[in-house]
Amino acid sequence: MGPDYIQGLADVYVMTGDYDRALDQIEYLLSIPSYFSISALQLNPEFDPLRNHPRYQKLVAKFSRPGG
């Protein structure tokens, strides 16, 4: 259940406009074994406000590579 709570926290941070904290949670989720993936991040409309954020784009590039 841990990843669910972390994603929920990231969602709250996005809703409140605290994008850096949201990206902290997303980066952590992508770095641990869980159902959360780069595809889930890219397809989830809740993360639309982050799409143009440079750090979001760096995370997508980093975790889209094999071994990222």
Q: What string of DSSP letters covers 1-66?
A: -HHHHHHHHHHHHHHTT-HHHHHHHHHHHHHSSSS--HHHHHH-GGGGGGTT-HHHHHHHHHHHST
Residue 24: per-residue pLDDT: 97
Residue 1: per-residue pLDDT: 72
- 3 pLDDT more than 70: yes
Distance of CA 22 to the CA centre of its chain: 7
Q: pLDDT tens digits, residue range 13-38? A: 999 999 999 999 999 999 999 989 99
The answer to whether residues 21 and 13 touch, using CB atoms and an 8 Å cutoff, is: yes
- 68 pLDDT more than 80: no
Q: Which two tokens stand for residue 50?
A: 């982050």
Mean of per-residue pLDDT scores for the chain: 93
Task: Name the pTM for this structure.
Answer: 0.88
